[in-house]
Structure 1
């Protein structure tokens, strides 16, 4: 399934939906019609476990093409939100997880040129999350080095503690797109949370594709454009530490819970690694893409200061 969180208008509550042939199907409303108890939000749905995905997929297929009145509306008529608008806890970020990004970071960000021997883990607070089309806030008083990072997001589906790499993918609910926005001039004594954890610094979405539809997350093209110009382009097969390794490593000491999000790392091509360096400024449009999931598009807007004239030059 391709699951979304949507709002039909500004005055209605967010609801859980499924994208089917260009329509957003209100899963709670469909469940009311069919007599099935389907939650109205993503986190409660994830809590139900893998059986909910199987049952709801079958339910959608049984109604496809003959939706009850008011249950399905064109996707263009609703506002898509972040699939999980408010995560229960911090996003697990993974740094330096593509070989070429390790090299470019060592040249420009004072990180080690040696490949990490273990995953490099940081976190992004729930307040970083925004959805498709929402604004990335640029405060020039705080940063003049706002950067982009397209990443495959992994959403955990079951409580995971001390999970082996062999079993790790069984704990995945699904996958999405995340843009790990970073203020490169806000790193503090080697700590990244202020650099990467500011409000709006985790555009997320537009959908969660359930794991049954993406059995191999390690062969997905991913890319990022700024103002229509491609800046990053790679494939998840180049991950230094793959998804099972990340889940096993984190769960060895930190319990992963349903709805937790792992941002799996970014490939080369970030602004800090370019010559000359490039940064995001108000007026820029950032488009992050992961194959088989979709494109996440967000504008950059000025906050706290007068808008800056002119855009980044391609």
Structure 2
């Protein structure tokens, strides 16, 4: 994890031990830790085995990693969501409902926030802000999968429709919550067995296994990496299941006061309140 101590100061790295406590790894960036992983893996393992640390509730968790590139995202990567999006009237990108190649776009780094940070939907003068819970892949050196985290790919739907290309509608400030932690790939025996679940104010909205991805993790990494210079710490959000706000009639857009929680097995819950 990347976190701040209660007294403030520089961002620090930490690891959760078996007691759910934060064991400090010192100041630094997750991107740097990933790049230096062969030299630091034993240090992190030893810290994880430590029996004392800070209570998790006593620190402020930040987005676990800040990549060099924009956050890479994949559209319409669950068949049921692709169908609901095609029927929503907001998909101005192509006529084909289920794509035969990955639909790739990015979110600006300035949209990145951490768990429990506020999402400023009140700044959306269209009133069409929507949630998209997603499993996110964090890359190591040489484009291998280093680990996994959670992203909420928040979207201003009217801007997505108006501008056709997704970037503007996806990149508003605070519209990319990430966290709460990064789980290394060795802790996930089969990523296809994980489930992505999203609730709004406790109401279940999304639930699907990663096995339902149209294009799996390996395909996404290979497709993007064939053309984009991906670096250690870069992030790929793998797509969202059915159940987003525009899939309802009438649509269920986000309002100030709404609490969105995205959970993935073994990673935890990314919780953010709309203001």
TM-score (norm 1): 0.82
The aligned residue for residue 211 of structure 1 is 185
- How far apart are residue 119 of structure 1 and its match? 0.5
Q: How many residue pairs get matched?
A: 270
The aligned residue for residue 226 of structure 1 is 200
2: distance between equivalents of 1:176 and 1:281? Answer: 25
Residue 124 of structure 1 is aligned with which of 107, 125, 132?
Answer: 107
Matched, 1:41 2:41: no
- How far apart are residue 123 of structure 1 and its match? 0.3
Matched, 1:74 2:48: no
Matched, 1:179 2:162: no
- How far apart are residue 49 of structure 1 and its match? 3.2
Matched, 1:114 2:119: no
Taking the TM superposition and a 5 Å limit, the aligned residue runs for 1:272-291 are: 272-291=246-265
**Contact 1:150-1:288 at 8 Å conserved across structures:** yes
Taking the TM superposition and a 5 Å limit, the aligned residue runs for 1:15-26 are: 15-20=12-17, 21-26=19-24
2: distance between equivalents of 1:300 and 1:264? Answer: 23
1:120-157 superposed Cα distances (whole Å, 9 cap, x missing partner) = 00000111111111000113553311000000010001
Distance 1:244 1:50, change over 3 A: farther
TM-score (norm 2): 0.93
3-state SS in 2 of match to 1:253: coil
1:70-122 superposed Cα distances (whole Å, 9 cap, x missing partner) = xx2111111111112x3322000100000001100110023534321110000
- How far apart are residue 14 of structure 1 and its match? 1.1
- How far apart are residue 50 of structure 1 and its match? 4.3
- How far apart are residue 16 of structure 1 and its match? 0.2
**Contact 1:91-1:126 at 8 Å conserved across structures:** yes
- Structure 2: 5+ residue runs without aligned partners? none
1: distance between equivalents of 2:106 and 2:13? Answer: 26
2: distance between equivalents of 1:10 and 1:271? Answer: 39
Cα RMSD (Å):
1.6
1:53-75 superposed Cα distances (whole Å, 9 cap, x missing partner) = 3x1344235x522x5xxxx2111
2: distance between equivalents of 1:44 and 1:220? Answer: 27
3-state SS in 2 of match to 1:102: helix
Residue 81 of structure 2 is aligned with which of 101, 108, 113?
Answer: 101
1: distance between equivalents of 2:163 and 2:63? Answer: 32
**Contact 1:149-1:180 at 8 Å conserved across structures:** yes
The aligned residue for residue 259 of structure 1 is 233
Distance 1:16 1:184, change over 3 A: same
1: distance between equivalents of 2:203 and 2:247? Answer: 16
1: distance between equivalents of 2:113 and 2:220? Answer: 24
3-state SS in 1 of match to 2:136: strand
- Structure 1: 5+ residue runs without aligned partners? 29-38, 161-170, 302-314
3-state SS in 2 of match to 1:136: coil
